[in-house]
A and B are shown apart, each in its own frame.
Chain A
Amino acid sequence: MLDLFWAEFKRSWLNLRRYPSEFVGGVITLSLFFLLLFLGAKFLAGPNANFGERTEAILVGFLLWILTLFAYGTLSFGLSEEAQTGTLEQVFLTPYGPIPLMLVRNLAGLGTQLLLLGTIALVLMFLTGTRLSFPPLVLLPIATVLLGSYGLGFAMASLALLFKRVQQLVNISQFLLIFLLQYPLEGSGWLAKLGYFVPLVPGAHLTRQMMAKEAALDWNLLGLALLNGLAYLALGIVVFSRAVQAAKRRGLLFGY
């Protein structure tokens, strides 16, 4: 399995190295997207508006959104692309089985995604004059957010496997992720309580607290975030496994 991880890692790294324009394009597009949102909000709020520490929170939310987008969309985008180009069946001929292969793919692709994210973070911090603290422990809540995102990604990949052309749905649902990442967990109302069970919410809340408000890691909340992430990952894998079975039964692995 380690060899498979290494092969997948090399594959994603080669893509990045061989097509640097895609990397640069990604940095420019996503940075511009943030700046337009940020400056647009400032313009709407008027000249006296001061975002204060909200800017940090918004930037953290945005970066986390990009990371979840990668985790969420890579699998379904990859499956659609492979069905279109005709490598999907060769991929499914692996004796490891499609689910372990896809899990390894997710993990191996994380390296290049983090590199892209880090570059965007530096560019945006420079352009907006924002400083983000990055305590190493923040990796833990981010990891729980990633687990949940992979779970949602597996669910979306199930649709890609069965219906192939789901890119529009992926694009639209990306904005649902913003809502999940900005879901307020503060307070004691039923909405806050519900948040613990909504995908990505506890981990995203913890990350925001640590990176934007320099809060210490709340280990209890991290435990809940981990449970939340694992539960949605497991759910996503179950759904994907059912989709693979249905695709094999209905002959949907080939063709686009």
Chain B
Amino acid sequence: MTAVLEATGLHKRFGKLVAVEEVSLRLAQGEVLAFLGPNGAGKTTTIKMLAGLLWPDRGQVQLMGKDPHRDPWALRHLGAVLEGNRNVYWRMTAQENLVYFGVARGLRFGEASRRAQNILEQLGLAEKSRTEVRHLSRGMQQKLSLGVALMHHPELLLLDEPTLGLDVESALRVEEMVRELAREGKAILLTTHQLEVAQRLADRVVILERGRIVLEGRTAEVLNRFAGEHYVVELETPPSPAQLAALRPLGLQGEGTAYVYQGDAEGLWQVLEGLKPLPLKKVARAEADLLEVFLKVVGRA
């Protein structure tokens, strides 16, 4: 697949603090990458370098083969919703913001006006098109920021906490939009502290810790890798104390009728042998979620 974004060996230091170290990212068309990490891990610094807003000390960024630090027209390929920013002018209406930023990103005025109308309908903001942004709800403002980022048909979207502070309905709507945009072929780099959102949306996951990438992989594979060591065992009736005492050394944890076995498949058979002849209700491989993966990886790092 064609690389929409290719960043290699990014390095940034502020005084004595190394904010980002040897970070390389690649993003293809239609791919959603969850870029995760605790506060201060270097996510925002990396995003700013990708967007040409911060110069890396070392390393290179290519947007559709162009370097945004040397060629500003590379920014035609990029749309961004930046965290902690308003992203839009509060004294202007939703429609005026879309047209203004569309033109500022290189669209002709007429084209920007037409596109603004489409985007407002797409975002469900058509009724609010003539409302000043300061009178819009936080959710609507966030949707508008996404609209601004989409105005000029960019191939790459950088979304820094796009669902932060939104109510459930608005957050789900933004999630659905991200899915739709990926289906349309946009490459999306998403940072969020809402790991369940990342898990639902991302094809790939990168976890950053103290400026370095500590985990990278396809979401499903990462989850499998971390789930492989756990099995859930549920019984219809609790085992006897003698049975339990024999099974504890094998790695069985839990009480009553619900247990977790930590170990490989061979060990699981030994556990099941030890539980004979109790009736089993459920034996299943435990599913890890991204939160668990994140805590393990970040904790280990």
Q: Name A's B-contacting residues (CB within 8 A).
A: 3-4, 6-7, 10-11, 14-15, 18-19, 85-87, 89-97, 101, 245, 248-251, 253-254
B80 within 8 A of A: yes
**A254 and B48: CB pair below 8 A?**
yes
Which residues of chain B come closer than 8 Å to A94, judged between CB atoms? 72, 75, 104-106
**B45 and A251: CB pair below 8 A?**
yes
| Subset of 27 A-B contacts with CB under 8 Å | A3-B112, A4-B104, A6-B109, A7-B103, A7-B112, A15-B91, A18-B91, A19-B91, A87-B87, A87-B88, A87-B89, A89-B48, A89-B51, A89-B80, A89-B85, A90-B82, A92-B53, A93-B53, A94-B105, A95-B76, A96-B106, A248-B53, A249-B54, A250-B14, A251-B54, A253-B54, A254-B85
Q: Chain B interface residue count: which class? A: 35 or more
Q: Name B's A-contacting residues (CB within 8 A).
A: 12, 14, 45, 48, 51-55, 72-76, 78, 80, 82, 84-92, 96, 99-101, 103-109, 112, 132, 148
**B91 and A3: CB pair below 8 A?**
no
- Extra A-B contacts (9), CB below 8 Å, given A85-B90, A97-B72: A3-B108, A10-B96, A87-B85, A87-B87, A90-B101, A96-B72, A251-B12, A251-B48, A254-B85
> From DSSP, what is the main secondary structure of chain A's interface residues?
helix
Closest chain B residue to A93, Cβ basis: B75
**B73 and A95: CB pair below 8 A?**
yes
* B54: contacting residue among A14, A97, A248, CB under 8 A: A248
Closest 7 CB pairs of A and B: A86-B85, A7-B103, A86-B86, A3-B109, A95-B75, A97-B72, A95-B73
Closest chain B residue to A90, Cβ basis: B87
**A95 and B85: CB pair below 8 A?**
no
User: Shortest distance in angstroms between A15's beta carbon and chain B's nearest beta carbon?
Assistant: 6
CA distance A11 to B90 in the complex (A): 12
**B51 and A93: CB pair below 8 A?**
yes
